[in-house]
Structure 1
Amino acid sequence: MTTFIVPSFDEEPWPSLGGPICDLIEERAVFGPGSLKGEPARLDDEKRAAIWKAYEVYPRGHELAGRRRFRRVRISWRKGTAKTEFGGWVAFVELHSEGPVRFDGWDADGNPVGRPVRDPYIPLLATTQEQVMELAYGVLYTVCTEGPDADLFDSSLERIIRLGERGADGKAVPLAGSPNARDGARTTFQYYDETHRLNSPTALSAYEAMEANLPKRPLDDPWSLGTTTAGEPGKGSVAEKDKDEAELISKGEVDEPELFYFHREAGTHDPTTGKEYDLSVMADRIEAIREASGPSVAAWSDLRGIAKQWDRPRADPRYLERTWLNRWTQAEAQAFDARRWKDELAKVGATIPRRVRRKVTLGFDGSRWKDTTGLVVTDIETGLQQKFGLWVPDYADESPDGTPEVRVHEVNEGVDEAFKVFDVVRMYLDPAQGWDEQGATWAGKYGPKKVLFFYTDSRNLRRTAEMCRSYAGAIKAGEVTNDGDEDLASHIANAQKREIKMVDDEGQPLWVMSKERHDSLNKIDLAMAGGLSWQARLDAIASGVSTASSYFYTASTTRRR
């Protein structure tokens, strides 16, 4: 059974408030919307263990005795494991007037004793307004309106208030955007459902704001809980950031970690037989799903029904692998292998030497309005790529109709700098979206054989598809590397495949990179610029340009520059 647990379980368990909390959940909570709605809550062994870990406190004699061990708890389970119920139930005991969720001394046997939170404030983050009642808030609402303690709460779709002797005595609220400073300052517990979905700039901003508010009520030992299914690698989601931090903790690179992380997935081999799973075989899929489920969840899951989803026409096997086997694999819709780009092809600290006339190619893509504009440079000799510029529209520089606009003079300076410090052999640029006139100016300045238009829309669809395929192939083969730039990695991860009504010479369908949707906030301009720069390199080499440097330099020369 494959699990990743950070910190790993201790030989001697830490003191915890978890036991009484589990008891309260099963005595007073109910299931939320779904087939079991309104029935008494039931915690399986794994969920009990997760609650025990979440409520561990420092032992007697420690300088922090009684304080929470973990300020942040993150759980990664496969799809369909009642993660949302779990989050809603924890929010319920945190809100409850009898919830023993904060340390209140030691009993005669040396065990910690809990008390309720005074005036709790509990935000539950949803990615959109439409998801509010579908996620943990919907569970909490059901518990507080249909459970045995409904008279202790005043519940609505906008907030759930805990009632006390003097009226309102704490509340929980759903959030579908950034919390304001006033609300966030009162946080005692907060919950995030499906953190792999929290990858847009707005969602990430909301998350960071909420996490920053945790230390503001130190007397109430505030904390946060997040649950998720494995996400798509390279997306930069909250779930991926949590996973990366857990890996650093496991390597001993974080002092006094405040994160507890639990992840369960299907391994590559059957733990009983040692045989590698073949996901084209039904029996192997069933066993892989069983492993990803864990014993408790597997006991009541329809493993065969889940496994049959692989046999549906046009099924996305990587999506199914990610959601049902809880593996961090990319969906088939992703244009490029973002994990390989980030984990295997990134040479952090590497750089293309400047001011020594290094032979390079450039790729340029973007929009003067609303969208970003990017410039990527590729070293002809090594295939190393670097972001040379990323420009974001600024509301201070608006077009006549009030649309935010990229500062053209800054882009000009960036392109001029690239031609100044490198021997630019070829530059491919997409002139659409406002860059046609400027592109013509660059061609006149640096030569029409060096600066070439490369439309990536319907005017040049087949060539664009061939460029995208070449770039994907270079990433797969490891021919292209990068310097670890996070913006470039993010744009690579955001690029999606969009099939076009064309096939190659062998009858295989062609595709071009695109956003996940037209209005998506997840940008891909650097990915397109990277592809253009790579294609410029290939075409330059094919035209006879040597891959050898036009100068001789040593490692020390590179460091000095």
Structure 2
Amino acid sequence: MPWVPQHEGDFPTLGWHVADQMAEYLGRPDAGDDDVFDPFILTLEQQEFLNELYRIDPSTGRRLIHRAALIRPRGWGKSPFVAGIMISEAIFEVVPDGWDSEGQPVGKPWSKVRTPYVAIAAVTEEQTKNTWEPLLEMLRQGDAVDEFDLDPMDSFVSLRRGRIQPITSSPNSIKGFKAVAASLDQTETWVRGNGGVKLAQTLRNNATKLGGVTIETPNAYTLGERSVAEASFGFWDDIQSGKYKNLEDVRSIYFDHRPAPADTRIDDMESLVYGLRVAFGDSSAHADGCLLHEPPCAPGWSDVHRTAMDFFDTANDPAVMRADFLNQVDAARDAYVSDPEMRACVDAGRDKTVSRTEPVTLGFDGSEGRKDKHIADATVLIGYSVTQRHFFTIGIWEQPDGPQGEGWRPPKLEIEQAVAKAFKEYNVVGFYADPSAGWAGEVKQWEAAHHKRLKAKMSVQEPIRWKQKDIGRTCDTFDQLYSQIRQGEVSFDGNPTVLRHFLNARRDPRRAGYVLKKADDNQDYGKIDATYGAAFAFAAGNDALGKGVTASSTTRMPRQLR
């Protein structure tokens, strides 16, 4: 019998069944009284994650998600929740086994398929305790030990077949341990230097071979540290941008990250408490309940007012507090912008549209394509509404991954058509472009074709060509643009590739200020070209304002003669 939906928006999942098994057999850690069984009951927010994790493809009857990440602030309850999931993978009915007489999914344990090995992974033994200690407590307080014939010892849990075991990045701890499920804790600290990158790859490869699952539980990471968490977020951003739209396997990735609003002010108690309530979700102990659901869930266990007070303690690093409790991604020390700053600008531009009559400027940064074995820079064309102070993406051309990227060159004809279309569809009053990387000829052609309608000009003779030797102008432009971003005076259309380029950018000090560069240790993948395209458009917009272009009514689109 095929799956039968029970209501609009329904999807097949074993999540509800897994949650029922958790409540029946597992005790709540830190419950207090050892003599009274306190079942492990999920919040609605946790249940929603579980339902996604155990989502089933109705056409194949198989689990859809094989790699997940749950990013929440410290104190949200990630460790016991993920411990419960790892126990479930070891002994509960988590493998789809068809549909019942009512068309609803049923499951079977991994032991009916293969010997289940489950890994509680971290880069240090101390780190594994975050999940391992609540896992043991949940088993010892509940009925699972007797019902499933378990032996929860301090160093591993013996199953009838298989085991649950903490492992670290030590080669001896992972050798031959082919886990059907693995939790990867605090992956913001997993880097090449401590073996974390290799450990994550090994666990994922093993899960892929066996049809299992891995779950990352990082706190918000710091940009530029090249951690496992940062790489995972980068992959997720690529998926969201549509980069892998033809790759079926990306459907098996699920990331759940909810930071506080980007405009959360850590020097304002009301704004801060609201941001903490958003980040902590159902675990917030605020008297008004959660902000996620209607009606609100009952207050949880995390005292957001107490946490807010710690932000005002000058001994605490604000960046660390934002990452740990507001769940906001932190910037590298030399980063051009921070994630919250950019997210606030994206939020401000979410509903904006650009008309055919309002004055618009363009910024172009080109690439000549792949060199040697290195990945080519991107080619970008960015638009900027002068009156709305709003950036919008016209085109981004990046080298494809894999064999398709061999010998890649930017599609010049397509790019030239995009420029021509922009001049046709928008009231373009300025256009600045970097002529290097093989685009000098095209820039000359654009100048010849469009110089008469441009109000903003680099010079009379070369109205579009950005003067690369004028480092002072470049430094001033980047600094002015950052000031506008920081103050929320400009907005962005939310293009994920543009956002990624801005977050990749690093400040490169010069005598006149700074220009932008790629991270020193990420020259291939840390593209920043959209920052230059946006800066050129921004500079042209400022020059247009200086020429008196202040309203859409002052300049009209040229009428096409027939």
Q: Assess same fold via TM > 0.5.
A: yes
Q: Give the equivalent residue in structure 2 for 1:287.
A: none
Q: Pick one of 216, 224, 249 that aligns with 1:192.
A: 216
Counterpart CA distance in 2 for 1:44 and 1:229 is 27
Q: Pick one of 353, 356, 361 that aligns with 2:355.
A: 353
Counterpart CA distance in 2 for 1:19 and 1:380 is 61
Q: Give the equivalent residue in structure 1 for 2:433.
A: 429
Q: Pick one of 135, 140, 160 that aligns with 2:177.
A: 160
Show CA shifts across 1:142-198 (max 9, x none).
Answer: 999943639964886255358xxxxxxx676965289689937833x5412327522
Alignment partner of 1:511 is 2:517: no
- Report if the CA contact (8 A) 1:359-1:549 is conserved: yes
Shift of 1:90: 4.2
CA RMSD of aligned residues (A): 5.7
Call closer, same or farther: CA 1:396–1:270 in 2, change over 3 Å: closer
Q: Give the equivalent residue in structure 2 for 1:93.
A: 87
Letter of the 2:514 counterpart: W
Letter of the 2:465 counterpart: L
Call closer, same or farther: CA 1:430–1:440 in 2, change over 3 Å: same
Counterpart CA distance in 2 for 1:49 and 1:333 is 49
Residue ranges of structure 2 left out of the alignment (5+ in a row): 1-18, 55-68, 97-106, 137-151, 166-172, 184-198, 221-228, 264-277, 283-289, 370-375, 452-460, 557-562
Q: Give the equivalent residue in structure 1 for 2:487.
A: 477
Shift of 1:476: 3.1
1:461-472 map, 5 Å: 461-472=471-482
1:381-392 map, 5 Å: 381-392=387-398
1:17-416 map, 5 Å: 17-18=22-23, 20-22=25-27, 52-53=41-42, 71=53, 74=70, 76-78=72-74, 89-90=83-84, 92-96=86-90, 117-118=110-111, 119=113, 146-147=155-156, 149=158, 153=162, 157-160=174-177, 175-176=200-201, 183=208, 186-187=211-212, 189-194=213-218, 196=220, 197=229, 198-201=232-235, 212-213=251-252, 250=291, 277-280=311-314, 282=315, 307=316, 310=317, 317-318=318-319, 320-328=320-328, 330-331=330-331, 333-336=334-337, 338-343=339-344, 346-354=348-356, 356=357, 358-369=358-369, 370-394=376-400, 402-416=406-420
State the SS of the aligned residue for 1:375: strand
Counterpart CA distance in 1 for 2:237 and 2:118 is 14
Shift of 1:372: 1.7
Counterpart CA distance in 1 for 2:158 and 2:402 is 54
Show CA shifts across 1:417-440 (max 9, x none).
Answer: 222333433222223333333323
Shift of 1:360: 2.1
Letter of the 1:94 counterpart: S
State the SS of the aligned residue for 1:415: helix
Counterpart CA distance in 2 for 1:530 and 1:92 is 46
- Report if the CA contact (8 A) 1:179-1:210 is conserved: no
TM-score (norm 2): 0.56
Letter of the 1:512 counterpart: V
TM-score (norm 1): 0.56
Counterpart CA distance in 2 for 1:527 and 1:472 is 11
Letter of the 2:505 counterpart: Q
Show CA shifts across 1:389-416 (max 9, x none).
Answer: 11123589989xx532211111111112
State the SS of the aligned residue for 2:216: strand
State the SS of the aligned residue for 2:340: helix
Counterpart CA distance in 1 for 2:129 and 2:248 is 20
Alignment partner of 1:450 is 2:463: yes
Counterpart CA distance in 2 for 1:89 and 1:153 is 17
Call closer, same or farther: CA 1:539–1:268 in 2, change over 3 Å: farther
- Report if the CA contact (8 A) 1:498-1:512 is conserved: yes
Counterpart CA distance in 1 for 2:524 and 2:214 is 27
Residue ranges of structure 1 left out of the alignment (5+ in a row): 1-13, 24-41, 59-67, 104-113, 163-169, 215-223, 235-242, 255-261, 283-306, 311-316, 504-509, 554-561
Which one has the bigger strand percentage? 1
- Report if the CA contact (8 A) 1:429-1:453 is conserved: yes
Letter of the 1:467 counterpart: T
State the SS of the aligned residue for 1:52: coil
Shift of 1:441: 3.2
Counterpart CA distance in 2 for 1:549 and 1:406 is 33
Show CA shifts across 1:274-301 (max 9, x none).
Answer: xx95342x3xxxxxxxxxxxxxxxxxxx
Show CA shifts across 1:89-121 (max 9, x none).
Answer: 446523545x69899xxxxxxxxxx99544377
Letter of the 1:52 counterpart: I
Q: Give the equivalent residue in structure 1 for 2:545.
A: 541
State the SS of the aligned residue for 1:389: strand
Counterpart CA distance in 2 for 1:171 and 1:546 is 60
Counterpart CA distance in 2 for 1:522 and 1:438 is 26
Question: Identity, % of aligned pairs?
Answer: 17
Letter of the 1:17 counterpart: M
State the SS of the aligned residue for 2:421: helix
Q: Give the equivalent residue in structure 2 for 1:257.
A: none
Show CA shifts across 1:223-282 (max 9, x none).
Answer: x897x8969969xxxxxxxx89979x956699xxxxxxx9968659856xxxx95342x3
Letter of the 1:147 counterpart: F
Letter of the 1:192 counterpart: E
Show CA shifts across 1:509-547 (max 9, x none).
Answer: x333333444353433223211221111112323x2421
Shift of 1:451: 1.0
Shift of 1:463: 2.5
